[in-house]
Amino acid sequence: MFKTLKNDIPASIVVFFVALPLCLGIALASGAPLFSGLIAGIVGGIVVGSLSGSKIGVSGPAAGLAAIVLTAIGTLGGYENFLVAVVLGGIIQLIFGVLKAGIIGYYFPSSVIKGMLTGIGIIIILKQIPHFFGYDGEPEGSDSFTWSSGENTFSALIGIFDNLIIGSMVVGFISLGILLLWGNVLSKKGKIFQIVQGPLVAVVVGILFYVLTNSNESLAIDATHLVSVPVPEGIDSFLGQFSFPNFAVITSPDVWIVAFTIALVASLETLLCVEATDKLDPEKNVTPTNRELLAQGTGNILSGLIGGLPITQVIVRSSANIQSGGKSKASAIIHGFLLLISVILIPRLLNMIPLSVLAAILLIVGYKLAKPALFMKMYKLGWKQSVPFFVTVLGIVFIDLLWGIGLGLAVGIVVILLKSYQNSHFLHIEDKSNGKHRIKMELAEEVTFFNKGAILKELDSLPRDTYLEFDVTKTRYLDYDIVEILDDFAFKAKERNIDIKLISKRGIVENPPSFIEFFQLRPKSNISLS
């Protein structure tokens, strides 16, 4: 972890600036104290980041739980009563981890995961455009199409013209220009521009702009368009921001219902985010999902005990971490410490940051998640990949994250049921070792994403210095998700000194550089990709 600090420290600063408004905005949208979002962000970074097996995942309060939290606080009769459900939800997540329920994450189709990433990218862009122009009618971090005020994502875009703040818009464009210049030009000119990240420069410029234009009638930015971190007047005031659970209501059935809801939704969001983050990871690390549930459960117990919101691994922070060059869990942990230190020592300085500057940072993150080229790529993969992908994207944009994923998964299952049938012998393994590890894996006629978890487990369990014969001569249908797993395995096999012999009806290939290219560049192959 310490070997990569030169990458992780700059990345942690970017994640900090992304996480700060989201922590506050999600708390506001949840009807909870603002400080509760910061507590969840700090615990998610330091505690969950330390316990997690993910190298680049970042945890904190999640927008997907905001509606649940808002309803639960009212149902349970107060925030202290709700905290009991958060603690119990964390305990239930620990039980999920012990029971090895993390394997569920492997059973989500690749098209749905990519749709989730793209949909979140589009949502980030659509939600941040109003903030970029100074229209801060909705809290940061919301992912729902409909606002509590009755507006929706698209009516808010129209509302920009009636709520435009000149100062916010000007500093937003200045910040966006800095970010584009830094990322596309300056970062390639010298190491100093890689160490000092563009978002940090944009934030500093944003603070200077606020200070220098504070007395200017046209460009002055009102406090309602700035970050709003609670400012304690002393140690007693700071400690007074913490809330503690009222365990007197632990026997209430409503508390247990909310606890199970938090545990299920938070675990599902985390597992989906883990799968998505692993796909974005340029080093193709595989996160142990059961350990992740244990880490998240521990984080939620602690967060609930000291007044924080429920925690999940969050794709917006995680993707910002990857895009900024984070290499190890140190970036998540350091970002947690930055949150802690800043809210104690420099809350007034943080409250000089225009929201439009942070919106500019998030616009870049959103664009990198939803690049236009991805839509054409998914379309070219065929309807069995593109239909679940587009359904997921549309569901996320026009309803919310969980609905989008649910609709995409339902369509994905229907596609698979139309294409494949149940086959209990999808993978045959034969140990041909004679002094040296020599393994033969033979795939059956039909292999779908339902088999993803088992194949991934078998490939990860192969010892170093193995000679693997991978036989697909009998395979007529091989799901694209499996091809991606094989492609990632080919990348990591070199590090483990594993030689691969691919056997197909078209011949034998030693150590194929890319399984995706091997299957896609041979249109007459006996394997029909989904």
What does the pLDDT read at residue 52? 94
What does the pLDDT read at residue 435? 62
Same domain? For 67 and 157 the reply is: yes
d(CA 274, CA 97): 14
CATH number, domain of 435, equals 3.30.750.24
User: With bands split at pLDDT 50, 70 and 90, how would you rate the model's confidence at 426?
Assistant: low
Q: Which of 221, 266, 330, 322 is nearest to 85 (CA)?
A: 266
Q: Report, as an integer, the average pLDDT of 123-143.
A: 85
Cα-based angle 527, 529, 530 (whole degrees, multiple of 5): 145
- pLDDT(457) > 90: no
**Each residue's pLDDT tens digit, 4-35:** 888 899 999 999 999 999 899 899 888 899 89
368 domain residue, yes or no: no
Contact predicate 320/128, CB 8 Å: no
- pLDDT(428) > 90: no
Same domain? For 394 and 439 the reply is: no
Contact predicate 29/66, CB 8 Å: yes
- pLDDT(448) > 90: no
Same domain? For 46 and 156 the reply is: yes
Same domain? For 36 and 169 the reply is: yes
Same domain? For 407 and 502 the reply is: no
**Each residue's pLDDT tens digit, 338-359:** 999 999 888 999 999 999 999 9
Same domain? For 258 and 379 the reply is: no
User: With bands split at pLDDT 50, 70 and 90, how would you rate the model's confidence at 515?
Assistant: confident
d(CA 51, CA 54): 9
Q: Report, as an integer, the average pLDDT of 284-292.
A: 91
Same domain? For 434 and 451 the reply is: yes
346 domain residue, yes or no: yes
CA dist list (Å): 73 to 26, 78, 273, 304: 14, 5, 26, 13
Same domain? For 472 and 358 the reply is: no
471 domain residue, yes or no: yes
447 domain residue, yes or no: yes
100 domain residue, yes or no: yes
**Each residue's pLDDT tens digit, 378-417:** 888 888 889 999 999 999 889 888 888 889 989 988 887 6
d(CA 216, CA 220): 5
Residue 404 lies in domain: 373-419
Q: Sheet harboring 499-504: ordered strands across?
A: 427-431, 438-443, 467-471, 499-504, 507-510
DSSP string, 339-385: HHHHHHH-HHHHTTSBHHHHHHHHHHHHHHHS-HHHHHHHHHT-HHH
Residue with tokens 């100093």, as numbered in its chain: 192
How many folded domains does the chain comprise?
3
Same domain? For 351 and 475 the reply is: no
What does the pLDDT read at residue 421? 40
**Each residue's pLDDT tens digit, 309-328:** 999 999 899 999 999 889 99
- Max avg pLDDT among 82-91, 141-150, 266-275: 82-91
Q: Report, as an integer, the average pLDDT of 81-92.
A: 96
* pTM: predicted TM-score of the whole model, two decimal places: 0.80
Q: Which two tokens stand for residue 4?
A: 């990569």
d(CA 445, CA 478): 8
Residue with tokens 């600090």, as numbered in its chain: 5
337 domain residue, yes or no: yes
Compute the mean pLDDT over every residue in the chain, rounded to the nearest whole number. Answer: 87
- pLDDT(234) > 70: yes
143 domain residue, yes or no: no
Residue with tokens 């409250």, as numbered in its chain: 351
Same domain? For 182 and 41 the reply is: yes
The amino acid present at 272, given as its one-letter code, is: L
Same domain? For 312 and 409 the reply is: no
Q: Report, as an integer, the average pLDDT of 80-106.
A: 93
What does the pLDDT read at residue 419? 62
65 domain residue, yes or no: yes
Same domain? For 461 and 496 the reply is: yes
User: With bands split at pLDDT 50, 70 and 90, how would you rate the model's confidence at 141?
Assistant: low
User: With bands split at pLDDT 50, 70 and 90, how would you rate the model's confidence at 423?
Assistant: very low
